[in-house]
Chains A and B, each alone.
Chain A
Amino acid sequence: MKKRLYIELENCIGCRSCLAACTQCGGHEQRNRNYVYDVNPLISRQTMPLMCLHCENPACARSCPAQAIQIHETGAVLSALVEKCIGCQNCTIACPYGIPKFDSEQNLMYKCDLCIDRTKDGIPPMCASVCPSNTLQWLSEEEIATKKSQFALENEKWVSSMPYLEGGTNVKINLPGILQGVEKLF
């Protein structure tokens, strides 16, 4: 059964477990590939995670001269193939969310690969498996559909839609209630 990463942005409590867990994924070589940001750092303590959203038409792969960024059959946009990456950093400039990281010593780009060693077998990625606040969830299509009906609005604002994202993504995002015009109950 195909499952997706699903992010309920406003649940984030800023514990950064997802960053720590990311470093522990096999092959990530102790370096995290995701981000947690303060939304309004001088006023409130609200944070939000920023992950690779695994675009359906990934700008990083489109801008890669070496075809080093491959797309897995699950839809995950993989990290650069180590033998092909030529270190031009086009992908870091092209990504609309600023996700790819670059190691100039190794002349190699690395980015979230959705823990492909786990997710290809249906095991949740490291970040989702440790998230204590249900911000990052690993859900089947039916479960996402249930979520959608729960927060359904006429304008379909609930999920990754164009005004908030740049094109279709494999990771689904639930925008904060304030943007949806609803108060969420948990």
Chain B
Amino acid sequence: MPKPILVQPQSIRSYNRAFASHFAKSIFITVILLAVLVFIGTRMFTHLDLNLYGYMVGTLVFIGGFFYRFIAWAERPPTKNLIKKGIRLLFRKSTTKTATNHMVTHQFIWNRGIYRWAQHFLIGWGCILSCFVTFPLVFGWMYFTMEENGYYTVVGMGINLMKVKADGVLSFFFYNALNITAIMVIAGVSMALYRRLKNMQARAEQKFLYDFLPLYMLLLVSVTGLLLTVMNVFFHGKGQPVMSLIHQYSVIITLLYLPFGKLAHIPFRAVSVFAKNYREHYGSQSMKNCRVCGDPFVSTEQSNDVIQILNENDIQFKMQEGFHLAELCLPCRRKYRMSRFSGFNTHEAKVKEANQNAKG
């Protein structure tokens, strides 16, 4: 009598079964993490600035939208593949350099045009610096106390970091950080709007919801934020409570919109570092030789990955000659198409591709 085979249940950990979906789990972990950080940062919830409580609720809703959008995105076959391999290759030597290049200095935008780089630099860094100021204040990771008259103590994550003179140079920058970033954003957005009015390609492709709305939202956030300062400094705070609510609404709407519109490219950028690592790493390992001319043109890994991704999309480019089109270098692939159009095997003629660049 054959022994009954014991089927071991797959290692299902109980914490994985506790959640209805990947989405639910991600949000739960993030919110718990946030709560713990707030607990530490605010010295057990004793230094929470309730004036900013609207932003906190807004951020929590934003997290929901963020995970909804990006988990759906990461499920697409090419994205899944790139993220999986990108994480594996994250600790390459060149990662720091690539990340700085792509996400801090934006050299590729400089190469697209200095004007565009300048507008992007102003908007991008204006927004990032504002977030660095705003979110720590909202969650109580940073706050100020005054134990001694005339001196503020800067507290970060519950630790007394430094003492600054209340009317000193450093504190001037602390008080005006958001004013400075607001001016940066307004300048950048104005440049971007001007470009959108003048550039023909932009005028052809731009849509109100996708291209203009984020710019208008950033403008609204910055202008209402600056108005708060104006009202405090020049009008003795008249109208400040109303304006502060308008500002709060504008920020929250921008946050909620972020994962779904143009601003979604901010988290996408991290994947461009993955892409660069992926190409460099697998390119140095083994290159794919074109099945027609024999020249290396892309990494073997990427060629195979693309074939796999196309398969998952139910696209087969397997030719009767025995090769997949993704195994041909670009000139050979184009010449192969000529052969399908004409009946003559253009790709087999040993002639270099004619010049295809018309310099206008």
Contact = CB atoms under 8 A, between A and B. Distances in A.
Interface of A: 9, 16, 19-20, 22-24, 26-28, 30-32, 35-42, 46, 48, 50, 57, 59, 62-67, 78, 82-84, 86-90, 92-99, 105-108, 116-118, 120, 163-167, 173, 175-176, 178-179
Contacts of A30: 359-360
B272 interface: yes
Contacts of A164: 340-341
Interface in B304-358: 305-306, 309-310, 313, 315, 317, 325-326, 328, 330-335, 337-338, 340-344, 346, 349, 351, 353-354, 356-358
A22 B359 CA distance: 10
A98 B331 contact: yes
A166 B325 contact: yes
Interface residues of B, number: 65
B197 interface: no
Contacts of A38: 346, 351, 354
Contacts, number: 193
Contacts of B199: 26-27
A118 B342 CA distance: 30
A39 B349 CA distance: 9
A93 B337 contact: no
A19 B356 contact: yes
Contact of A66 (B202, B262, B271, B346): B271
A87 B269 CA distance: 10
A67 B74 CA distance: 11
B204 interface: yes
B79 A65 contact: yes
Contacts of A23: 358-360
A67 B351 contact: no
Contacts of B240: none
B22 interface: no
Nearest to B201: A27
A37 B78 contact: no
Contact of B275 (A62, A63, A87, A175): A87
B12 to A, nearest CB: 30
Nearest to A98: B333
A37 B346 contact: yes
